[in-house]
Amino acid sequence: MATVDPVLRVDGLTLAFGGVKALNGVGFEVMPGSITTVIGPNGAGKTSLFNTISGFYRPVAGRVEFEGQDITRLPAPQRARLGLARSFQNIALFRGMSVLDNIKLGRHCQLKTNIFQSLFYLGAARREEMELRADIEARIIDFLEIDHIRHAPVASLSYGLQKRVEMARALAMQPRVLMLDEPVAGMNREETEDMARFILDVNAEWGVTVLMVEHDMGLVMDLSDHVVVLNFGQVIAQGKPQEVQSNPEVVRAYLGSGDVSELRERLRTGRARASGAAADNGLQPGASAGGGTPPLSEVA
């Protein structure tokens, strides 16, 4: 069997906040073309992991490799330029600016001329600006079905649409790996289904590798090729979704030593119900509770 190199590899990643180790020797690989999902209870270290991989946090130990290159010490914008783009758990858009302008800001990290020059439409900057606009309009806006809101200020949009715009901005960076931190958190069922379809299409049709953090177990089970489970800053299990869902340590991490039959059922069916203990453990938060994600055949 031919061996394929991982597009992203983290090894021994350790991050401390004061005395607290948010990450403690985290290691896993993301294969090119895959949808890899990081799950784990609230406080497990998922967002810290994302921030460390994308360069917002500096680890005290360990290594991040992107396409074979050690990027552990590279500043965040340079990682983005290499092809590592991300969205945020809490939306980080310029709320007063239009959808289009927000998306263009994502693309600007790829341009030779800087944003201030191109704002003045001078020479090469102007040509780049026009190409940029055409590229964005033709591909991303169309793909994400946000044509009708391109001139709307972000602040006027629903939460689900804002999440979609954030994805558009990340895609405008033409990433090879797209990192999504809780892409469907706070979304209703319809928005969740739309986002699931976009993630699948970005992966399948555009060939973008996806690394995401997600709580919605239906989505995780339907979309993921590979699941990495974090608990207390450590990888406690990883593998195919089916392998992970039957791993006793994973079940324990979510529910302590209590009754796990309900969690098993939910993981198996991918259908979630808002119910006390599991919700408190961050398994199924917010608006997606009760809906879950249907099989992909229904989504597509």
Helix axis angle, 189-206 relative to 159-171, nearest 10°?
10
The residue among 42 and 156 lying less far from Mg ion, judged by its C-beta, is 42
145 and 176 Cβ atoms separated by less than 8 Å: no
- Counting contacts by CB under 5 A, is residue 231 touching Mg ion? no
Nearer to Mg ion, 24 or 118 (CB): 24
Measured from the CB atom, the residue of 46 and 107 that comes closer to Mg ion is 46
In our burial notation (b when 16+ CB lie closer than 10 A, e otherwise), range 134-162 reads eebeeebbebbebeebbeeebeebeebbb
By CB under 5 A, name the one of 24, 34, 36, 47 that touches Mg ion: 47
Footprint on residues 30-89 left by ligand ADP (CB under 6 A): 40, 42-48
Q: State in angstroms the smallest separation of the CB of 115 from ligand ADP.
A: 28
Question: Which range of residues in 21-29, 38-46, 56-64, 157-165 is near Mg ion by CB under 5 A?
Answer: 38-46
Question: What residue 44 binds from Mg ion, ligand ADP, none (CB within 5 to 8 A, per partner kind)?
Answer: ligand ADP
Q: CB of residue 53 vs Mg ion: minimum separation in angstroms? A: 13
Distances (CA, A) of 45 to 25, 62, 70, 177, 228: 12, 15, 22, 20, 12
Nearer to ligand ADP, 40 or 160 (CB): 40
User: Strands 35-39, 226-231: parallel, antiparallel or unpaired by DSSP?
Assistant: parallel
| Shortest reach from residue 20's CB to ligand ADP, in Å | 6
Alpha-carbon distance of 168 to 271, in angstroms, equals 28
87 binds, among Mg ion, ligand ADP, none (CB under 5 to 8 A by kind): none
Single out the segment in contact with Mg ion by CB under 5 A; choices: 60-68, 89-97, 130-138, 271-279: 89-97
**Residue 236: CB minimum distance to ligand ADP, A:** 13
Q: Are 255 and 281 within 8 A, CB to CB?
A: yes
Burial of residue 7, with CB atoms counted within 10 A of its CB: 0-12 exposed, 13-18 middle, 19 or more buried: buried
Between helix 123-135 and helix 99-108 the angle, nearest 10°, is 120
> Residues 106, 170: contact at Cβ < 8 Å?
yes
**Whose Cβ is closer to ligand ADP: residue 20's or residue 134's?**
20
98, 153 contact by CB (below 8 A): yes
Q: What pairs with residue 38 in β-bridges?
A: 213, 228
Per-residue x/- mask for ligand ADP, residues 8 to 27, rule CB under 6 A? ---------x--x-x-----
* Residue closer to ligand ADP, measured from CB, 43 or 239: 43
- Are 200 and 25 within 8 A, CB to CB? no
- Give min distance, CB of 18 to ligand ADP, in A: 7
Smallest separation, CB 54 to ligand ADP (Å): 13
- Centre a 10 Å sphere on the Cβ of residue 106 and count the other Cβ atoms it contains: 23
Interface with Mg ion by CB under 5 A: which range of 44-52, 122-130, 141-149, 264-272? 44-52
Q: Which helix (H) or strand (E) holds 71?
A: none
Give the shortest CB-264-to-Mg ion separation in angstroms.
Answer: 24
- Binding residues for Mg ion (CB under 5 A): 46-47, 89
- Binding residues for ligand ADP (CB under 6 A): 17, 20, 22, 40, 42-48
